[in-house]
Amino acid sequence: MRPPSWIAALRAVDVPRLEPLSTGSDLVVWHAELRFERWRDASSLPWSATYGKTQIIGDDGARSVAEIELVRRLRGAGWSAGWVDTFGSAPAAWASWIVTPDALPPSLRAAYLGIKAAAASSAGGRPDVVAWLGDALADVVFVEYKGPKDHLRPGQDAWFRAALQAGLSQDQLAVARWREVL
């Protein structure tokens, strides 16, 4: 099966592929393997500047995080996109890359909130990035980012399942993973 056209914006290092969401899962979604370069001086930065996120060199050469770079890439491909900061306390410098459910177009906001309620999971289950082209459910994609040491959790499985039950297709769901090579 061919990857959906939007996934090219993520700049995967290999051809994205349909795979089980996680080991042992029967839920199949798109997976894209990414490559970033780690920001070398991050250990001297306070938590208030890093938000506990692995610091990388962004596409513009500045210090960044993967979630912002995914948003930047989707926006560069013509999508409206944002990182859904589930904890709500990201550094203020990142505000232009963050989206809240309230800022989504009305029908997408309703679908997002409906999926969240149906998943009955904590904030930890929601995908990191949401992107949309219009106000229809068919015009939205969700991307869960996983860093080198991160794993998918049961709440994320529940969220993706609820999204499919709400009418999204597997072509609208992806996991973007950075497997850092040291």
The model's pLDDT over 92-145, given as tens digits with 9 standing for 90+, comes to 889 999 999 899 999 899 999 999 999 885 556 889 999 999 888 889 999 999
The string of pLDDT tens digits covering residues 53-65 is 899 999 999 999 9
Confidence of residue 72 (pLDDT cuts 50, 70, 90): very high
**Helices (DSSP H) in the chain: which residue ranges?**
47-50, 66-76, 106-119, 154-165
**pTM for the complete prediction?**
0.93
Given strand 140-146, what is the order of strands in its sheet? 17-20, 28-34, 173-178, 140-146, 129-132, 80-83
Helix (H, G, I), strand (E, B) or coil at 56: strand
The tokens for 16 are: 């994205």
- pLDDT for residue 110: 92
Domain ranges of the chain: 5-178
Give pLDDT tens digits for 28-42: 999 999 999 999 887
Angle at the Cα of 164 (from 161 to 168), degrees rounded to 5? Answer: 145
In the DSSP assignment, the letter for residue 52 is: T
